[in-house]
Amino acid sequence: MESLSIIYGTGKLPLRIGHLELPCYILSDGNGVLMKAGLQKALGYDGKSPDWLFDLLGSINKFYPVSGALFEALENPILFEMERPDGSLTKIEGIYPSVAIDACKTILNAKNDGYLSVGQLKHAKAAALIDSHFEAIGPREAIEEATGFNFTKETGKIYLRDFMLSHHDDAVYHWIPALRDTFFEALLEMHALDWHALRKNPKKIAELLHECLFSRINDQLNMALRAQKPKRFYRRPGKMPKNHEHPELQHYVSEIMALFKAAASNWSVFLQLANRIHPKTTNFALTIADPHTERPIGLLDSQLQKAVAVNRIYTKHNKKRA
C-alpha cells in the first residue's frame, strides 16, 4: 500500500481554537486528519506517550462506557509521512476529526456525570472548546481553512474566471468563483483531476465547464446572471466564507450535479443525459486559442526578426573572414 503524504498543511498552520492549537493536514487520499500527538497536547497532556488519550479513556471506561470503535480507532491511527528539516521522511500518527470529536464528547459526558477526577477536569475544559468549535464549523471545513486548501480553491476559481473572460468577455463568467466547491470536485473527479488543474490547465477546465454548464444555461437565467455580479465577501477570523451563488444558478447547478450522479461520473453518459434534459443553447460559444499556436506576426515583430537574421548572417560572414 502506498504511503500517505501531506498535500496541504504545515506545522506552522495549525487549526487555532481559542488558545489551543491543533496541527492538521490534508493527505494524498483527500482526507483531512489531526495529528494525534497535537490533539493530546491540546487536551492538556504534556508528556510524550502516544497512548495517553487511549489510557485516559480506559480509566474513564471503568466507570462510564466508552465505545469500542473509539478505542480501535485510537489503537490504529492513520500513518502518513512528514518531511523533517533535513529532508528525510518520518512517520506521523494521525486521527480523523470524527474520532477526535467522539473522544471529546466522551470526556465531556464523563465530566458531566461526575466520573472525572479533579486532575482530569482540565481535559474536559479543552474538550469542550474543541467540540463546540467543530459544532459551529464542520471539521472538514475547519481543516480546509486552516491548511490553506480553501485559499487554493478560491484563487483557482478566480484564475479560471479571469482566463475565461480573457477569451470571451461575457459577464456570466463572473459567477465562476461563486460556484460551490462540491460542483468543481465532482467535475474534477470525473476527469481524474484535482484543484491544481484550475491553474495548471485552465484551458481544459474552461472547456469542460463550458460544455457541462454555461453552454446549457437558458436565456432567462443568462440574462439574470449578466445583469448582476456576485456579491463580494470579506473573510473574518474564525468565520467560513459564504457562498453567494445566485439562487436560480444554484438550482441549475444542483440539476447538473444530479446528472453527474446519475451518469455514475461517466462523462459520455453525462453528456447524453444533459443533451436530453438541458440541451445546448445558442447564447454564445467559447473559443479558446491553443497557447502553442503561433500568433500573427506584427510589423514591429517582423522587422525585429529581419534584424536578428541579418545580424546572424553578418556575424557568420566575419567569422569566416577571420
Question: What's the whole-model pTM score?
Answer: 0.74
Nine-digit cell at 71? 478505542
Number of domains in the chain: 2
The 8-class DSSP code of residue 232 comes to P
Are 165 and 142 in a shared domain?
A: no
DSSP of 76-142 = SPEEEEEE-TTS-EEEEEEE-HHHHHHHHHHHHHHHHTT-S-GGGHHHHHHHHHHHHHHHHS-HHHH
CA distance between the termini of the chain: 66
Q: Please, are residues 37 and 90 in contact by the beta-carbon 8 Å criterion?
A: no
- Which helix H or strand E contains 24, and what residues bound it? strand 24-27
162 CB-side CA count, 13 A? 7
Pair (106, 179) in one structural domain: no
133 and 16: one domain?
A: yes
Residue of 88, 90, 106 whose CA lies nearest to 98: 106
Helix pair 267-277, 247-262: axis angle to 10 deg: 130
Residues 42 and 168 in one domain: no
Give yes or no: residues 51 and 171 share one domain. no
Which grid coordinates are listed for 216? 446549457
Tens-digit pLDDT profile for the chain (322 aa)? 467 999 999 988 999 999 999 999 999 988 999 999 999 999 999 999 999 999 999 999 999 999 999 999 999 999 999 988 888 899 999 999 999 999 999 999 999 999 999 999 999 999 999 999 999 999 999 999 999 999 999 999 999 999 999 998 899 999 999 999 999 999 999 999 999 999 999 999 999 999 999 999 999 999 999 998 887 655 554 454 555 668 899 999 999 999 999 999 999 999 999 999 999 986 556 666 554 433 343 444 444 444 444 445 444 444 445 4
Domain annotation covers residue 119:
yes
With respect to residue 291, please indicate whether it lies within any of the assigned structural domains: no
